Structure formats: structure tokens, C-alpha cells
């Protein structure tokens, strides 16, 4: 048995998420993983849907909006420091950053991010301004 892991936020991103945001991979356990997401000021992510994982997001800084859609229902919510939201399995989502400050959030992915192929591209609400990759989410 271990006493646990400790780390600090890496100074640069590890990968680009499938939605195009910058990802700093944090720690994981058997039940979930955590990552830090950054979307630069004025950027709009690609819209994606996760095949097998669900997430809880907590916004650290910046302002923006998150669009979520499932089963014919959609919702757009304001994002600002202190906002916490969930993205259930199978929900389509897209987010964008407003103003002059990047939008930064931490998210817990349950179960841990399985790798390439987890996120599938979908039609979103806004025109994306970034390109995606197959990395962690």
C-alpha cells in the first residue's frame, strides 16, 4: 500500500485534448483521473462526445460558456471561476472562452481517461477556432 501521490501543475501542457484545449495531466487512481484544461482567450473548442467516461469540471479562472446536448435536449451555461458542472456519458459538449483571460478548469474523469478513440467529433453550437488531438481528456 502507498501513502498516495503528489504533484504540482506542470508549467506547459502535456497534450491537446480531442476538443483542442490544452491539457496538463494530473494524478489518477483506479476510479478516476484528473486533468487541468486551458482554452486561450477568445477560443472555441471542437464539439465532442465521450463514449465511456463521464466528467466533473470545476472552473478556476476566466469566463465563457459550455454547451451540452443529449437526447434532443440542449443547454448552454455560463462559465466563471467557481462554476462546477457535470458531463454525463454520451453527452455532446463544446466550450468557449470570453474576454482577455484564458478559461482554466480542472476535471475529474471517471473511469480514468482510456486514451485515443474515447472522444468522437460531433456537430456543435459554435464554429471551433482550435484543432483537436487524441490526447487525454
Residue 46 has pLDDT above 90, yes or no: yes
Q: Which residue has the higher pLDDT, 116 or 102?
A: 102
Q: In the predicted model, what is the mean pLDDT of residues 47-68?
A: 97
The tens digit of pLDDT for each residue in 18-32 reads 999 999 999 999 999
- Look at the chain and count its residues: 137
Whole-angstrom Cα distance, residue 116 to residue 51? 11
Closest by CA to 94, choosing from 136, 129, 134, is 129
Per-residue pLDDT tens over the stretch 105-122 = 999 999 999 988 999 999
Cell numbers at 76, concatenated: 448552454
Per-residue pLDDT at 99: 85
Per-residue confidence at 133, pLDDT binned at 50, 70, 90? low
Q: Which domains does the chain have, with CATH numbers?
A: 23-121 (2.60.120.10)
Work out the mean pLDDT of the chain and round it to a whole number: 93
Quote the pLDDT of residue 136: 47
In the sheet that holds 48-50, the strands lie side by side as 73-80, 63-70, 92-98, 48-50, 119-121
- Do 68 and 125 contact (CB within 8 A), yes or no? no
Q: How far apart are CA 111 and CA 118, in angstroms?
A: 12
* Higher per-residue pLDDT: 134 or 97: 97
Amino acid at each position: 500500500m502507498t501513502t498516495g501521490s503528489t504533484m504540482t501543475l506542470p508549467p506547459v501542457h502535456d497534450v491537446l485534448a480531442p476538443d483542442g484545449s490544452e491539457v496538463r495531466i494530473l494524478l489518477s487512481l483506479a476510479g478516476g483521473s484528473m486533468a487541468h484544461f486551458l482554452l486561450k482567450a477568445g477560443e472555441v473548442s471542437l464539439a465532442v462526445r465521450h463514449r465511456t467516461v463521464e466528467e466533473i469540471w470545476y472552473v478556476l479562472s476566466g469566463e465563457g460558456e459550455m454547451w451540452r446536448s443529449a437526447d434532443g435536449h440542449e443547454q448552454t451555461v455560463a462559465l466563471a471561476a467557481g462554476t462546477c458542472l457535470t458531463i454525463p456519458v454520451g453527452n455532446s459538449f463544446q466550450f468557449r472562452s470570453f474576454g482577455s483571460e484564458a478559461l482554466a478548469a480542472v476535471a475529474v474523469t471517471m473511469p480514468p481517461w482510456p486514451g485515443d478513440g474515447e472522444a468522437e467529433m460531433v456537430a456543435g453550437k459554435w464554429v471551433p477556432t482550435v484543432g483537436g488531438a487524441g490526447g487525454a481528456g
